[in-house]
Structure 1
Amino acid sequence: MKNRITELFNIQYPIIQAGMIWNSGWRLATAVSNSGGLGLLGAGSMYPEILREHIQKCKKATDKPFGVNVPMLYPDIEKIIDIIIEEGVKIVFTSAGNPKTYTSKLKAKGITVVHVVSSVKFALKAQEAGVDAIVAEGFEAGGHNGREETTTFTLIPMVKEQLDIPLIAAGGIATGRGMLAAMVLGADGVQVGSRFVASEEASSHSAFKQMVIDAKEGDTQLTLKELAPVRMLKNKFFESVMQLYTTGPTKEDLINHLGRARAKKGMFEGDLEEGELEIGQIAGLIHDIKPAAQILNDMIEEFQIAKKEVANF
């Protein structure tokens, strides 16, 4: 498959594995890259030197392109950017911040920069900032989300209508049919998160992976919009947040209730009751844990089958 995304990243398939905190370590990133997609390290859950370690392990485990996802709201951001440059990473996805902050610095070092957005407004701002491509992520996505609550299938054609640079669709895409649908609407590629959480190589806890594949429609919900909107599985912690909302909490009340390292406790350490279990709505369509290579191959095979079926309409 050749298009603007495969050419931009020098990959075989226009499938990007999302750089998810506590899920996207070097094993997952290299497995996806070695299978023809683009693997991303999730820097948001890594101290700077841990990120360096994962980058170095990626360089040893694959000769294919891989990248790093950098949420700009996290501390030590300057150190993270410096390590990425020092280690010779060629692709960076930025999110949760102003794309103007680091795009010029990264591009001056020959790094391809992609920015994640949730609206047309921010897609155009990122394009103006000089990024090489956009990830437009819909309301269905897991983890931290946009405030606009625009669904993927509404967002993609709206962004496509005004964007000149390559467009990657994200949010609610876990199958080849979903990939085809996103590309019919104007995307040049797709970013896949939740499906790769349920992979053998994901660094998240096995108990969390099992809860993902057991999830049904309606088992996730977006909450904590006053802080940073986040979609998570409904568990004891989620219900306690909902109970707190009945008291008319202040922003400080919500911060205190959330506490520290709640996502690590849930996704990485496997505390299914008190942890923050971030996953997308598409979890209801994920039924098994597979090697990342098999996930990617299944998506491409289903994509080709669906493409032929559509041609016969």
Structure 2
Amino acid sequence: MVYQGFLGAQHAILQAPLGPDLSGPALVAAVSNAGGFGFLRAPDQPRPDIVRQLIQSTRELTERPFGIGVVLHFDQDENIRMALEEKVTALWVFWGDFPEEKVDECHKCGVKVVHQIGSVEEAIKAAQAGVDAIVVQGIEAGGHVISQVGLLVLLPAVVDALRGYNVPIIAAGGIVDARGYVAALSLGAQGVCLGTRYRKFVATVESCAHPLYKRKIVDARESDTEYTNLYGRGRWRAPHRVIRTTSHELWKGELPPDGTEVGQPIIGHTTIYDVEEDVPRFSGKVPNFSTAGDVESMVMYASIGVGLIHEILPAASIVKGLVEGAQTIIQQQLGRFLDPSPCREGLTTMV
């Protein structure tokens, strides 16, 4: 639903950074042009040249606000410096601390800060640091998942804990349609996030994901994901949710608990930004449009919500569908429980 003026966007519908390079300028611009808020994803290595290129290329496609996301587990100082130099509207940070002095530095450059968290404790720390929005990620989310709690419980717990802080709260994890959108609002969120670990924006026309990856998302059922730590251990030992493909089921028992992708057979090749890379079995590299080889055997991050995704759509139609669908639910379904009043009118104008 929509928090008017959220980060300068028409709707508080966020397309989070799809990593490492799935949310390119075309997808981000499409989301922002449709009234949502799109986020690029910075490389996991210090590549300020790539950060500048991504931002400038996106500005050629949209005049609307957008941002860029960084994973704080990696060395991001140079990438953040470039984002501030380019004065993007917002910086998305995840998986690490971003203290008050860092937030202040962003604010001095005119850049807002969005912090994705997975616990009440993290949310309080982010709010105390002065961030401009908090994304609450439930364990239902796809990709790397920092939370250990379901969104149905975590979201209202964060809302209660942050009473008194003037910070918008955005819900993430398994939300793919207007029903999830309205449900998140009823739990106290001011908006929703789809994309990075939640996969809805992966399955779009503009996404840089490999066509097979998009098709696997569309074909997957709600029971076809698994929360695991199988992939990419040599680079980042973090739990994640993936599609249980045939290859995943075949090979998941072949890697010992202390094993990594290092030394595993090479099953394909990919270009991430401008770097050609091998893809070993159990790599954490998701297949993008350049990937060749045994794509079926590569990791495909996805949330529990994949069972509700049935087609590949333009990003703009997803934003439009969320807004219009939420309005319909409020007016036709929830509206019958409300007396005609200014309160009801207020609800219908939020989206």
Same fold (TM over 0.5): yes
Q: Is the 8 A contact 1:265 1:274 kept in 2?
A: no
- Equivalent in 232, 239, 244 of residue 249 of structure 2: 239
Q: 1:283 aligns with which of 303, 306, 311?
A: 306
Matched, 1:310 2:334: yes
For 2:213, the equivalent position in structure 1 comes to 208
Do the aligned partners of 1:28 and 1:39 also contact (CA within 8 Å) in 2? yes
2:95 equivalent in structure 1: 96
* CA-to-aligned-CA distance 1:262-282 (integer Å, 9 cap, x gap): 343534526433311111111
Structure 1 CA distance for aligned equivalents of residues 177 and 260 of structure 2: 35
Aligned residue number for residue 182 of structure 1: 184
Letter paired with 1:292: A
Shift of 1:72: 1.2
Contact 1:224 1:254 in 2 (8 A): no
Q: Which has the higher helix share?
A: 1
CA distance in 2, matches of 1:277, 1:197: 10
Give the distance between the partners of 2:328 and 2:67, measured in 1 at CA. 29
TM-score where L is the length of structure 1: 0.90
TM-score, structure 2 length as denominator? 0.81
Match of 1:63, as an amino acid? Answer: E
Q: Deviations over 1:114-162 (max 9, x none)?
A: 100011011011111221110000011111002x421111111000001
What is the match of residue 197 of structure 1?
202
- What is the distance in 2 between the residues matched to 1:267 and 1:307? 38
Give 2:10's match in structure 1, choosing from 6, 12, 37.
12
CA 1:257–1:281: 2 relative to 1, 3 Å: farther
Corresponding residue for 2:317?
Answer: 294
Larger radius of gyration: 2
Contact 2:139–2:151 at 8 Å: present in 1 too? Answer: yes
**Structure 1: 5+ residue stretches without partners:** none
Structure-to-structure mapping, 1:1-313, within 5 angstroms: 3=3, 6-21=4-19, 22-44=21-43, 47-75=47-75, 77-100=76-99, 102-146=102-146, 148-163=147-162, 164=165, 165-193=167-195, 194-224=199-229, 227-235=237-245, 238-239=248-249, 242-244=252-254, 247=256, 249-250=257-258, 253-254=259-260, 256=262, 262-264=283-285, 266-268=287-289, 269=291, 271-308=294-331, 309-313=333-337
Residue pair 2:34, 2:316 contacting (<8 A) in 1 also: yes
CA distance in 1, matches of 2:29, 2:117: 25
- Is the Cα–Cα contact under 8 Å of residues 11 and 37 in structure 1 kept in the other structure? yes
In the TM superposition, residue 51 of structure 1 has moved relative to its aligned partner by 2.4
- d(CA) in 2 for partners of 1:198 and 1:264? 17
Which amino acid is the alignment partner of residue 133 of structure 2? Answer: A
Closer/same/farther in 2, CA of residues 51 and 188 from structure 1, 3 Å limit: same
SS in 1 for 2:296: coil
Residue 23 of structure 1 and its aligned partner are, at CA, apart by 1.9
How many pairs are equivalent? 305
Query: Aligned-pair RMSD on alpha carbons?
Result: 2.2
1:167–1:229 Cα change, 3 Å: same
Q: Residue 27 of structure 1 contacts residue 201 of structure 1 at CA under 8 Å; is this kept in 2?
A: yes
